[in-house]
Structure 1
Amino acid sequence: MNDKDETYVLNLCDEVLGLKGSRQHLFLFLLGDKGHRLPVDVYYPEKKLVIEYREYQHTNAVAFFDKPDKLTVSGVSRNEQRKLYDKRRRDILPKHGITLIEINYSDFHHNSRHRIVRDVKRDLEVVSKILKG
């Protein structure tokens, strides 16, 4: 069983939408700095919809994820690269007629370790509101 918050939230999205999205979907037109395709968390082709789950490290510095002393192939820190790639998704997906919805960990009740305190009923309501909002 995968207990990652991302998996939990994407499964909630599947339930709310009544569809099974394509996880870690790759588009030919969404590329990283070395020409590799950038994945999106989930894509629903029937709705031309991408959903990205934003964990704590997407908005806050976390040394474990950022590896500040090591540069990426882009020549920037992992934190900077993540910001660039997040922006790239925001800019490019709409140009291809795809709606992007970002769901943040802070949209849910979470503990001091920034993990979701799971309550399926409450969390389905949160996701439903975001997706219909």
Structure 2
Amino acid sequence: MPKAAQDVSRTAIRDEHYVLDLCDAVLGLKAVRQHCFPFLTGDPDRRGYRKPLPVDGFYPALSLVVEYHERQHRERVGFFDDKPTVSGVPRGEQRRRYDERRADLLPKHGYRLVVLEVDEFPHDSAKRLLRHTNDKEIVSRRLQDFRTQAGSGSVLSAD
């Protein structure tokens, strides 16, 4: 594993896991991965059921949600966008709606959202992270306000 990953889990195979492991290292806390909030749901299916929308990483003590947006959040990717959805909209449109829903609803319920974009990190032409030595510094800058809270021992409400 590259030197940049020395502070992260050796099982961080996917870029999302790698970025969340960097967040864990910077904050000194372990994120709840793929957490679902009762107020954050997807579009209704044919029966009217709304499936919970998971967030990438949730830090309850900080009321913080971290999302890592890979290339499919910013550009059309046939493999991801051609999949059918329960609500009848193209997958790319559904992803955009869900990203907006997270950005709208999380703050309304007292949570702060930090979105880390693939373009913030060194990456290859396929937009896969190169896992560079300065990745942790990038995350540290983006989470600067929360590092102070995590280090002070103050605990904020998770609900």
TM-score by length of 2: 0.79
Partner of 2:79: 64
Task: Output one character per residue of 1:32-57: Cα deviation in whole Å (capped at 9) or x when no partner.
Answer: 11211100000000000000000001
Task: Output one character per residue of 1:111-131: Cα deviation in whole Å (capped at 9) or x when no partner.
Answer: 111111112x41100000111
Distance 2:79 2:22 in 1: 27
4+ residue runs over 6 A deviation: none
The reply on whether 1:37 has 2:52 as its aligned counterpart is: yes
Q: What SS does the aligned partner of 2:33 have?
A: strand
Q: Percent identity?
A: 53
The reply on whether 1:22 has 2:27 as its aligned counterpart is: no
Task: Output one character per residue of 1:78-132: Cα deviation in whole Å (capped at 9) or x when no partner.
Answer: 000000000000000000000000000000000111111112x411000001112
Distance 1:71 1:54 in 2: 21
Whose relative contact order is higher, 1 or 2, with alpha carbons under 8 Å and at least 6 apart? 2
Distance 1:8 1:98 in 2: 23
Alignment gaps of 5+ in structure 1: none
Partner of 2:18: 8
Q: What SS does the aligned partner of 2:134 have?
A: helix
Alignment gaps of 5+ in structure 2: 1-10, 45-49, 146-159
Distance 1:63 1:45 in 2: 35
Partner of 2:138: 126
Q: Which amino acid aligns with 2:19?
A: V
Partner of 1:93: 106
Distance 1:31 1:110 in 2: 31
Aligned residues: 130
* Structure 1 position 2, deviation (Å): 4.1
Q: Cα RMSD (Å) of the superposition?
A: 1.1
* Structure 1 position 71, deviation (Å): 3.5
The reply on whether 1:76 has 2:86 as its aligned counterpart is: no
